[in-house]
Amino acid sequence: MSEIRAQDYFAVVPEWVIYADISNAAVRLYAVLARFANSQGRAWPSRRTLAELMKCSMSSIDRAKDELISVGALSVEHRTNPAGDPSSNLYTIYTHPHGKPAPSSPMVKGSRVIGGRGTSTGDALNKANMKQNQIGKPSPMTDTRPACPECLGKYRTGYDDGTEGLAHIWIATAGFGDKPGKGIYVVCQACDGTGKDTRK
């Protein structure tokens, strides 16, 4: 799993927009507008720019825009220039439904799927439990102890060396001559890879 860096670009889409009864194009338009939006949620890209970015027609942009308005995710102010000619629209995106009751989430906060498959929560829990059961340690996802002060509960994932899911610490290695040192991840000895504070 890669880490999000400052130079990576991404858009945050509220869960209620993702699960709203709207098309994929409308969800994608919300994300594109979110990338353009300022801190007040306002953006003013042209319809042509939006259509080019989304690789679709301007009429598709208009349909997606209407869907977002219908669920309260977007409002649009049609603007004109000083000569009275149409200018770019002023879009305002909302992180909570504008003028509508907030829909309930299909996911329950704080709940976990026991034995469930097909959801990221259930799959992650099953994978962690399987890995931890193989090595005879409690699952880090069900252990409520605070994080280990040595490794801060940081897990290394994506490796096939049998230590995936265990807490690791980075050990820097010394360089040789003019070559810089590199380093390796090793299973945290303070918590034996559980990622949890074992002190009493």
Domain locations along the chain:
15-93, 120-187
Q: Give residue for tokens 């360089």.
A: 175
- Kindly compute the dihedral angle of the four CA atoms of residues 144, 146, 147, 149, in this order, to the nearest 10 degrees: -160
15-93 to CATH, choices 3.40.50.2300, 1.50.10.10, 1.10.10.10, 3.40.50.1100: 1.10.10.10
Q: How far is CA 143 from CA 5, 194, 195, 200, in A?
A: 29, 9, 9, 15
Instruction: Quickly list DSSP for 122-155.
Output: HHHHHHHHHHHHHHT---TTT--SPBPTTTTTPB
Phi, psi of 24 (to 5 degrees): -60, -35
pLDDT in tens, the chain (200 residues): 566 565 567 888 999 999 999 999 999 999 999 998 988 999 999 999 999 999 999 999 999 999 999 999 999 999 888 888 888 899 999 988 887 776 666 665 554 444 444 444 445 555 555 544 444 444 444 556 677 777 666 665 555 555 666 666 666 666 666 666 666 667 777 777 777 777 75
- The amino acid present at 34, given as its one-letter code, is A
pLDDT of residue 51: 95
pLDDT of residue 68: 95
pLDDT of residue 161: 58
pLDDT of residue 185: 66
pTM: 0.52
pLDDT of residue 48: 93
